[in-house]
Chain A
Amino acid sequence: MSVTANTPSVSAAATMPIGTPRHHIAIFAGLLVLLLIAPFVLYPVFIMKILCFALFASALNLLLGFGGLLSFGHAAFFGSASYVTAHAAKVWGLTPEVAILLGTIAAAFLGLIIGALAIRRQGIYFAMVTLAFAQMVFFFALQAPFTGGEDGIQAVPRGSLFGMISLANDTTLYFVVLAIVFGGLLAIYRIIHSPFGQVLKAIRDNEPRSISLGYKVNRYKLAVFVMSATLAGLAGSTKALVFQLASLTDVYWTMSGEVVLMTLLGGMGTIFGPLVGAAVIVTMQNYFASFGAWVTVLQGTIFVVSVMLFREGIIGVLSRWIRKPL
């Protein structure tokens, strides 16, 4: 009799058995424990930054790694959500959860518009359309009266959660951010492992074939685009509260590039890759900040190396090694 277990077949995120693999549950649980301890060991704002970017990169990965759509304009969603949240908290004096909600809704709405226009294009043209729209959002942010131009919106009050729990304290805020980000990551995990996610992977793998099976692929693409934009917005809104700042950096094209870099470095199409990619890049920016412009050069080098040498990214390689989808 033949034993399939002996055949060396498992490519990275390929043969996902039905049901939640135990090692995924274990990793999520371990991650949560680590993150609960982390603020007592490390600087909370630093970990919150990683968390926000981990969510941002995971949102992009949902679109890129599972929908097969490369967006070069995700800063538009991250940044506009950041502005809306900052404005809502500072000018309108809304509570943080409402400010975040508004920012996220704004990103979702923007995602619907940009997505509807972009999904009709394929491959690099899709990427170019998203980039073009993101640039429009950038110029809007530069010119609009309420964004504060070059200064951005500074000194955004963190406020009190539900008007009761003050978030001025970094550690308190940390646990709120952790809940948001972890919730977001679990949501993405579920989307990927839903009947919808299954169709998404089919479209990513072979679009004409999916059409020939009767799937209306454009609707699925638009749906995942909006989901990705919404989650990127959630990350941007949260970031605005953490740093009490919304600025042009958030909507600039380099931000779109950075999140693509994080995803590729960690491993696109994997579950945990974007988290690792975000942690590596943010850590690097933090510790090498004194090198100034050299950080960009270093980042560029990492980008080139990761694209040329290990396309599967850190987690992709690891996953192939242990022959388990990660």
Chain B
Amino acid sequence: MSSPDIILSARKLTKRFSGFTAVNGVDLDVERGTIHALIGPNGAGKTTCFNLLTKFLQPSAGNISFNGRDITGLAPAAIARLGVVRSFQISAVFPRMSVLENVRIALQRRRGDSFDFWRNQKVLNAYDEEARERVEEVGLTEFIGETAGELSYGRKRALEIATTLALEPEMLLLDEPMAGMAQEDVSRISALIRRIAAKRTILMVEHNLSVVADLSDKITVLARGEVLAEGPYEAVSKDPRVIEAYIGAGHG
């Protein structure tokens, strides 16, 4: 057997907030082309891990590498440019822009930087067609001209995914993509995530365990900032330490 092809890995990743250690010596290896879930009780440090991996937070210790390259010292925008794009736990749309514009702002990244303040924005029309397709993919076509801030919570999440996908990142980090979605949207987005995972790698935080069981190839369980267990869903869900961590934190 050949050794697994690791796209993103973290070693001894640690984050301390004035004395409190939110993430403590986490080792993480995400294999290329898989859906990897990061789960754990509230406050386990999942979002903090995402913030560290994408450099929205500076690690107190440890390092991160992407495609074999050390990215610990990079700025968050630089990591996005390498092809690691994250979403946020609280919905992150551009509220005063339309649905179409939200997606287009991601497509616009293909021009490189947009410092051309003298040019008419009509040049961006070139991306409209593709933006429409992306919007359709997440089932928002009938809201395409609407202001993103006025969408329902679930639709905002869908729009966020469309925006993230528009960048065609090599790797996606999704922080609770299904939170607050109606069941029919959960199914749609699940199917979409599975479809995009064919060509990409996904690291996902999700509380909906049936979604996790359904989608993920591998699961890492985090509790109190440390890795508690790792493996496929069947194994992890039977692990007594995992069950205890969840019960201890008040999850059924």
Contact = CB atoms under 8 A, between A and B. Distances in A.
Interface of A: 2, 4, 7, 9-11, 13-16, 18-20, 190-191, 193-199, 201-202, 204-206, 208-217, 219-220, 223, 227, 269
A209 B150 CA distance: 18
Contacts of B69: none
A213 B79 CA distance: 10
Contacts of B56: 208, 211-212
A196 to B, nearest CB: 4
B147 A14 contact: yes
B174 to A, nearest CB: 12
Interface residues of B, number: 49
7 closest residue pairs by CB, A with B: A214-B80, A196-B117, A205-B94, A195-B114, A14-B147, A209-B92, A15-B98
Contacts of A213: 80, 85, 105-106, 109, 163, 167
B235 interface: no
Interface string B76-107: 11001100011110001111111001001110
B93 to A, nearest CB: 7
Given A18-B121, A213-B167, A205 B76 contact: no
B195 interface: no
A223 B114 CA distance: 11
Contacts of B105: 198-199, 202, 210, 213
Contacts of B94: 201-202, 205-206, 209
B167 A205 contact: no
B142 A4 contact: yes
A194 B92 contact: no
A19 to B, nearest CB: 6
Contacts of B104: 198
A201 B124 CA distance: 15
B96 A13 contact: yes
A211 B146 contact: no
B121 A193 contact: yes
Contacts of B121: 18, 193-195, 197-198
A195 B80 contact: no
A217 B105 CA distance: 13
A201 B117 contact: no
Nearest to B109: A214
